[in-house]
Structure 1
Amino acid sequence: MDSTQNYNPEQLTATAFKVREHIIRMSTDGGCFIGASLSAVDLIVYLYNNFLNITADNLDDENRDYLFLSKGHDVPALYGTLAELGILETERLQNHLSINDHIYWHPNTKIPGIEFHSGSLGHLPSVAIGVAMDIKLRGGNNKVICILGDGELNEGTCWEAMLVANAYKLDNLIFVVDRNQFQANIRTEELIPLEPLADKFAAFGAAVKRIDGHNFDALHEAFSAYPFHPGKPNVVIADTMRGKGLPSIQERADRWFCNFSGDEIDQLLLELHGNHTTQLTSETLIVR
């Protein structure tokens, strides 16, 4: 899909809201990594709807684009997005963690739309580089996205991958960092500080943009500028909020993985709906 066409922030907001509903419903009967999944929703929804050429009809087309979810524990956000795109049957989301399906805590290639399995962090940047190099060798125009967690950047393989991406001038590759400031149950800057993160990526040869990862206009402006610099791998650092959409768990270190009861799920859905209505009202007032 051409990122300059069909941009509709209101529709993206509505889709992101539905994806957040899916995530909340998957955080019971075994639970999921709800905080990080909620932080990545807007990124993934934007990419699939306004940047990547990936549809239910072209999954086997070698000319499609690719998205690799390296921070695999965010997969509920990806499952929900694939469901809203019609790539994954929505009713299958009810099978999360069921022994009768393949929908569980990390991506599985048996699910349509999943390009590569992940779970152990730090591995998919190298996989994405291999695909990007193959595309270059074939003379293709496919775009390759790899979504990384900020805590994942403690893995040395991520930085080794950046060196290789720069050496081979992979300007068809975009690393997107979901910068929600948390690694598991501690803030990144309290464990192994990452900042100044943009400067570090630039020092490794990347063309870097830093944006608000929950602002669709900012996302659209950034990705519409792709490729950011000829011959350089692209990096988007998206500043996000863990638990976005649920004030009761936002930015809470103890809410990185949750297994809620049915009653708690109902309350969280009510909270999501209430917060969504408040946001829409505030935006309307600002516009007026």
Structure 2
Amino acid sequence: MLSKSEIKELKKFAIKIRMDTIKEIANFGAGHLGGAMSMVEVLAVLYGKVMRYDTKNPKWEDRDWFICSKGHSGPSLYATLAIKGFFPEDELMTLNQGGTKLPSHCNKDLTRGIDMSTGSLGQGSSLAVGVALGNKMDERDSYTYLMLGDGEIQEGQVWEAALYAAQKKLDHLIAFVDYNKKQLDGYVKDINDVGDVKAKFEAFRWHSQEIDGNDVEQVYAAIEEAKKVKGKPSVIVLDTIKAKGVPFAEKLKLNHHIKVSKEQLEETLKYLKQELEKVVQL
């Protein structure tokens, strides 16, 4: 269980991630804002409390791994890594620009702290299973954390990987499904409904939970429960809001990839500063 001060620090961390994410996207003019913002609380909990990593040695063999299979959500992961010191925060302003080390989708060969290149949806699931299996064979106690999108799990490769992870009893693999209910061109239920995600993973022999994915306390508690499970992988289905923390974008039906004006940036930063002040006063 998190202490009151830990909860406060994680909430502040999440707000800081959102502030840096909207800044880098607005500086370029547009970007994958929706899905980047909906997974922020998971990033705050993982990098702020849960994961083992070394900013001075990102390839440390005994580290925990984070694989963002929905690689287009990289901007919030970049913000997280910069805040934690993997690279200078001013580099965030180079997002998607010529010569940048921060491309639109996660690239391990360019960005310090990125564990796996992703972006071709579905493939991150297989990569995560391979990492988890390799660490198990090497008798490492490392955890592999996998972030999937709800539209992404329409891909068959996700379920092939899920079957194999259960077959190999990969209990140090913990996946998240960012169930923000929208994909690029509309609502998931209207395009290719994924149904009861928790029940589906249970049918594939995974330990499954469903929580409010924008609540740091619930995220942390779910991860702790997943770590107690032996002999099977775990999934945490995150009930989230796409573009969470960005009022103008939350209201949009299509907010997967959007333009962000200078005025919208200022409006959002003002709102987030107010939210930060509320947390400080807790």
TM-score, normalised with respect to structure 2: 0.93
Query: Is 2:170–2:231's contact at 8 Å kept on the other side of the alignment?
Result: yes
Taking the TM superposition and a 5 Å limit, the aligned residue runs for 1:126-205 are 126-205=126-205
Give, in angstroms, the shift of residue 229 of structure 1.
2.5
Query: Is 1:7–1:50's contact at 8 Å kept on the other side of the alignment?
Result: no
Query: Is 1:207–1:232's contact at 8 Å kept on the other side of the alignment?
Result: yes
Count of residues in Structure 1 that have an aligned counterpart in Structure 2: 280
Q: Show structure 1 runs of 4+ deviating over 4 A.
A: 3-7
CA RMSD after TM alignment: 2.1
Partner of 1:232: 232
Give, in angstroms, the shift of residue 252 of structure 1.
2.5
Give, in angstroms, the shift of residue 236 of structure 1.
0.7
Query: Is 2:2–2:217's contact at 8 Å kept on the other side of the alignment?
Result: no
Give, in angstroms, the shift of residue 238 of structure 1.
1.1
Letter of the 2:89 counterpart: T
Letter of the 2:118 counterpart: S
Write the distance in 1 (CA, Å) between the matches of 2:161 and 2:264.
41
Partner of 1:36: 35
What SS class does the counterpart of residue 77 from structure 2 fall into?
helix
Unaligned runs of 5+ in 1: none
Letter of the 2:180 counterpart: N
Partner of 1:67: 66
How many percent of aligned residue pairs carry the same amino acid? 29
Write the distance in 1 (CA, Å) between the matches of 2:40 and 2:104.
16
Query: Is 1:26–1:96's contact at 8 Å kept on the other side of the alignment?
Result: yes
- Higher alpha-carbon deviation: 98-107 or 198-207: 98-107
Query: Is 1:207–1:233's contact at 8 Å kept on the other side of the alignment?
Result: yes
- Higher alpha-carbon deviation: 246-255 or 112-121: 246-255
Query: Is 1:58–1:64's contact at 8 Å kept on the other side of the alignment?
Result: no
TM-score, normalised with respect to structure 1: 0.91
Give, in angstroms, the shift of residue 165 of structure 1.
0.3
Query: Is 1:4–1:224's contact at 8 Å kept on the other side of the alignment?
Result: no
What SS class does the counterpart of residue 249 from structure 1 fall into?
helix
Partner of 1:11: 9
The CA deviation string for residues 13-45 of structure 1, in whole angstroms up to 9 with x for no partner, is 111111111111122324111111110111111
